[in-house]
Amino acid sequence: MTTLVTVLLLAMLAGTAITIARVRGVFVAVMLTGIYSLLSASWMLVLDAPDVAFTEAAVGAGVATVLMLSALALTTNQERRPDRPTILPLVVVVLTGSVLVYGTLDLPSIGDPLAPAQQHVVPRYLHESPHEIHIPNVVTSVLASYRGYDTLGETTVIFTAGLGVIMILGGAQQVLSWQRSRRREDEEGAIELDDYTAAPLPEPRDPIRPEHGWDARGEAAASGGEGAGDDEGAAPEEDA
């Protein structure tokens, strides 16, 4: 029964992976990665690793899908067709895959008590954890206590990754708003195009610019009271 479920899950995983590789719509691909995560979470559960399954379901199928969708909103949702034939990448992938599969032939089978992974520190953790830490879930005692350094490092990685995303998106946002203000002034004819391209990239936050723009607009609004047609002519003179 377990074998049947495993084979079924792995077949569905492989099918989902191939579909993700072949599909052109990025939105479909993102939803399929969510399904892939859910399938692998079920498979982890079959392998008696509920902690990993839990993480995979919560992160992979839940939050990661939402984050991918929000990232998708920043780009197009159609993958470009490759302009070169894709034979060489296929050959490389097939070769790498077969080498990896060949490598697994030497590995001990899943759950083998004589596997090196079960011989090293695992017996000590399993035997001593009830006396030393007295927590029924050995996974927690290994993660938080025996391997506390690793978990601290992982938490730092998550924190750093989050900071990176915040800084990249925040910086891009500043550049965007700066470009927009430049474009607006360009449309008003305040700056010659040559100056615009020749000038080195200024700081995203220019302390003078918003004030200046506000001033010019204020002038335009003030003159707008007298005659709306004069606005176009008034603004450039103001800046020059």
Partner 1 sequence: MNHLIVPRVMAKIMIPFILLYAFYVQFHGDYSPGGGFQAGVIFAAAVILYTLIFRVAEAERAVRPSAVRVIGALGLLLYAGVGVVTLFKGGAYLEYGVLKHDPVHGQHLGILLVELGVGVCVAAIMISIFYAFVDFLRAQ
Contacts with partner 1 by CB under 8 A lie at 50-51, 53-55, 58-59, 62-63, 66-67, 70-71, 73-74, 132-137, 139-141, 143-145, 148-149, 151-152, 155-156, 158-159, 161-162, 165-166, 169-170, 172-173, 176-177
CB of 62 or CB of 189, closer to partner 1:
62
Least distance from partner 1 to the Cβ atom of residue 76, Å: 14
**Please, which residue, 84 or 134, has the CB nearer to partner 1?**
134
Amino acid (1-letter code) at residue 146: Y
DSSP state for residue 78 in the 8-state scheme: B
Give the nearest distance from C-beta 24 to partner 1 in angstroms: 23
Q: At a CB cut-off of 8 Å and minimum separation 6, what does 230 contact? A: 223, 224
Question: Nearest-CA neighbor of 55 among 33, 40, 35, 69?
Answer: 40
Residue (40 or 235) nearer to partner 1, CB: 40
CB-side neighbour CA atoms (13 Å) of 184: 13
Q: Which CB, 29 or 142, lies closer to partner 1? A: 142
Output the six-digit token pair for 182.
Answer: 């430049």
Smallest distance, partner 1 to C-beta of residue 39, A: 19
In the complex, the smallest distance separating the C-beta of residue 47 from partner 1, rounded to whole angstroms, is 13
Q: 10 Å Cβ neighbour count for 199?
A: 10
Please identify, using beta-carbon distances, which residue of 17 and 144 lies nearer to partner 1. Answer: 144
Q: How far is the CB of 61 from partner 1 (least distance, A)?
A: 10
From the number of C-beta atoms within 10 Å of its C-beta (0-12, 13-18, 19+), residue 1 rates as exposed
Nearer to partner 1 (CB atom), residue 93 or residue 176? 176
Minimum Å gap between C-beta 84 and partner 1 is 32
> What is the DSSP code (8-state) at residue 57?
I
Tokens of 52: 């990993």
Helix, strand, coil percent values for the chain (each to nearest 5): 75, 0, 25
